[in-house]
Amino acid sequence: MKLAIYGAGGLGREVRQLACAINARQHRWDRLFFIDDIHPQRMLDGTPVTDLASAQGVDAVEVVIAVGEPALRARLSAKIRAAGLSFATLVHPDVMLPDSTSLGEGVVICRHAFISCDCVIEHNVYLQPHCCLGHDCQIGEHTIISPGVMLGGECCIGRRVFIGMNASVKEKVRIGHNVIISMGAALFNDVQDGLIALGNPARIIRRNEDEKVFRPAGLRRSR
């Protein structure tokens, strides 16, 4: 089996490290390579980079998405399905997953993530290091949970959500789809679809109209 890492940036290199850690414990993949549709046909950290069309010609390959924009994760997921390729789920060997965990395909769970009992983690979710999911949390498709995020029990997080580093979410809070919660936010109340919230206590600042988390420094919007 081969593993294709869709995304050849910083997150892609981190996923490569995770895959190597998994392989060191149990040999799952004979070969790793990156997919980058914009800058293929090169080497990155000694690993080949190709495009999706070329990956379709590889026998026994599964794909994991390694980009940090939830909306882009959703688009790439649709491309992978259309190409007839399967998804890989990567869980660091040191992570203890309760038997009651429901895990979708294409999920990435990094080292030092904590998942309590009866959590539902849907397709293509990315859980970064030192995040904490309380009991009975639900995480929707294509969502990114950043390092240090703390979710209280019974939180319900929608699809294509980005929760920034060290944010805290009170138990039983519901976050809608296409939402951005800024780093360091303290969220005490529900957030409806398509909004951006920041601060402590978190407040809504505007709509998430372009569904984009990261921007070059010169293009950041003023509030």
Question: What DSSP string describes 199-219?
Answer: TTTTEEEEE-SS------GGG
SS3 153: coil
Round to the nearest angstrom and report the end-to-end CA distance of the chain: 48
**Residue 127 contacts by C-beta under 8 Å, 6 or more apart in sequence?**
107, 108, 109, 110, 113, 115, 121, 133, 139, 145
Question: What DSSP string describes 106-128?
Answer: T-EE-TT-EE-TT-EE-TT-EE-
Side chain identity at residue 119, one-letter code:
C
Q: Is-catalytic flag, 27? A: no
68 known member of a binding site: yes
Q: Which of 92, 135, 142, 177 is catalytic?
A: 135
Which residues are documented as binding site? 68
Active-site positions read 135
Which residues are documented as binding site for substrate? 68
